[in-house]
Amino acid sequence: MRIADNRIASVLGLYRSELASRYSESEARAIARAVFHDRMGLDAAGLELHKDDVLSESELLRVYDPVRRLAAGEPLQYVLGTVHFHGLTLEVAPGVLVPRPETEELVELIVRSGIAPRRIVDIGTGSGCIAIALKQAFPQAEVTGIDVSAEALALAERNGVRNGATVRWVRANVLEPAFTLPDGTDLVVSNPPYVPRSEQATLAAQVVDHEPHIALFVEDDDPHLFHRRIASLVAPGGTVWFEGHHVHAPATGAMLRGMGFSKVDVLPDLSGNHRFIHGLR
């Protein structure tokens, strides 16, 4: 990768050319703006105003290295090292699922639902995004984040400290027969693996090649594996909220009804896809 000079405009041109095989022109432009904002503090207006400014060698390195990683398919969030989620700034890194806008919608639905939980458990916490956001929204609640990955829990713990959230982090496998929820848990939340393995080829390469499959995929012959197991743990009087697959979410709702849950709803995300399921046991 070469640039004609150290002007900002030349670096932006490098982003467009190097990312052309993976992203549309508008996506490449948005990615370049995100990098410059993160590394240089320049927004879109600032980039236009200063496009002919010459970067120092240290400034150039700050914006030049990311394009190499992005061109290799690494997700932007891993390159920047942080993501914004429901008013929080969270660290993200390879090995931990990148928080999605849909999961942010899930948190907002829970916050607006009118409940006042005392003990919250987030299963498959990953970066800790749901657990920390709910602790922020319900400061009096005891919140526990559970994950099978020690790597994810270490990052989640850092995110809790970073955002001043007191959350208990527990390494456990929800599929183990001996697994139980903490006594008194009245809200269970989970964004579990729900993408059928057969859909792997339909996902973007930067997702399949870089994000942890253990947090993404479920086998086609049992797409409700995690939802069913988690729902079975909810005590009478407890509420469960799930994120789910846009095709299987209605069936997940029917499953909850069959398990004795009431007030079951299947709600759309902002794109109109069935995405969120909740019920009262």
Question: Between 8-18 and 25-40, two packed helices, what is the crossing angle to 10 degrees?
Answer: 130
Q: What is the pLDDT of residue 3?
A: 73
Q: For 208-267, how does the pLDDT look when each residue is reduced to its tens digit (9 = 90+)? A: 999 999 999 999 999 999 999 999 999 999 999 999 999 999 999 999 999 999 999 999
Please state, in angstroms and rounded to a whole number, the distance separating the CA atoms of residues 233 and 188.
Answer: 9
Question: Where residue 64 falls among pLDDT bands split at 50, 70, 90?
Answer: confident
**What is the percent of the chain where pLDDT is above 90?**
93
Average pLDDT over residues 31-41: 94
Please state, in angstroms and rounded to a whole number, the distance separating the CA atoms of residues 216 and 192.
Answer: 8
Q: Which of 156, 136, 137, 158 is nearest to 145 (CA)?
A: 156
- Quick check: pTM over 0.85? yes
Q: For 22-35, how does the pLDDT look when each residue is reduced to its tens digit (9 = 90+)? A: 899 999 999 999 99
Please state, in angstroms and rounded to a whole number, the distance separating the CA atoms of residues 139 and 133.
Answer: 10
Q: What is the pLDDT of residue 1?
A: 59
**DSSP string for 5-29:** SSBHHHHHHHHHHHTTTTS-HHHHH
Question: Where residue 113 falls among pLDDT bands split at 50, 70, 90?
Answer: very high
Average pLDDT over residues 150-173: 98
